[in-house]
Structure 1
């Protein structure tokens, strides 16, 4: 959803801080890449899962990652007037589900830090609210993965 603001508006707004603006767009691209990566990883983890209870916890995060990717696309479009699509990255493989879950806990928490940085750089409340939703989802994913880890670590 493009806000109808001329892209030159942002050039004027960030003229003194142009590297910061470019950094924001780079961070959004990084976030999109991470969301694509995690969605693929979580699909693989669901296939590794032996119980429906664990699969459902992972599926929750899997569905959100797709939503987040689209939200980042909307944010990028709102800032630039351009749609972008990030190619699917290579995803590491795991022999044990618990190892994938452990790295997912850390990944979700690292995403929260990255997304807070992005949120602080956004120019309006609507975009910051979108990041707030993504951040709280990522925090919930970390909590769900801690729960899954506790089940698997018995």
Structure 2
């Protein structure tokens, strides 16, 4: 047998079937990507504000350092999504969430839990973007997705530490 062995298929002989994408289906997928990127820009801004609040109530310097790193990543993600949106559409993304406020959580622990769930939801959304976005943007989306998983892990640690 040639190649590597993966279950019932050898690596060298197995080629997955990929259904051709009709032009209108491709356009529809691009519209989904653009809409989800617009949502991601607004979501990342909301997360940044929310994490600023968590930072203000974090009980230790270690926790503040972790949340600061996550907040800074959210700023980076927002910037990356804005760049991708501009490249895909030829236009700047609409301004959203600039005067935005958010509902303060009942406690620091509740805020950590909300942040954890938000990071996991973001990952799910970004996975759809990754699936449909042109391939030249996939490395950037992958970086953002792995950051979201890292953030979820940190928030899980913060939650366990403060429970």
TM-score range, shorter chain: 0.7 to 0.9
Structure 2 residue aligned with 1:151: 161
- C-alpha offsets along residues 105-132 of structure 1, whole Å, 9 cap, x if unaligned? 111011111001001111123x111000
2-side partners of 1:14 and 1:81: how far apart? 23
1-side partners of 2:148 and 2:96: how far apart? 20
Bigger Rg, structure 1 or 2: 2
What TM-score do you get using the length of structure 2 for normalisation? 0.81
Which structure's residues are more often helix, by fraction?
1
1:130 paired to 2:146: no
List 4+ stretches of structure 1 deviating above 3 A: none
For residues 99-114 of structure 1, the aligned pairs below 5 Å read: 99-114=110-125
Paired residue secondary structure (1:33): helix
Structure 2 residue aligned with 1:31: 40
2-side partners of 1:35 and 1:131: how far apart? 14
Gaps of 5+ in 2: 1-20
8 Å contact 1:14–1:21 — kept in the other structure?
Answer: no
2-side partners of 1:82 and 1:124: how far apart? 20
Matched positions, count: 140
For residues 2-151 of structure 1, the aligned pairs below 5 Å read: 15-17=23-25, 18-84=27-93, 85-88=95-98, 89-125=100-136, 127-151=137-161
What TM-score do you get using the length of structure 1 for normalisation? 0.85
8 Å contact 2:34–2:85 — kept in the other structure?
Answer: yes
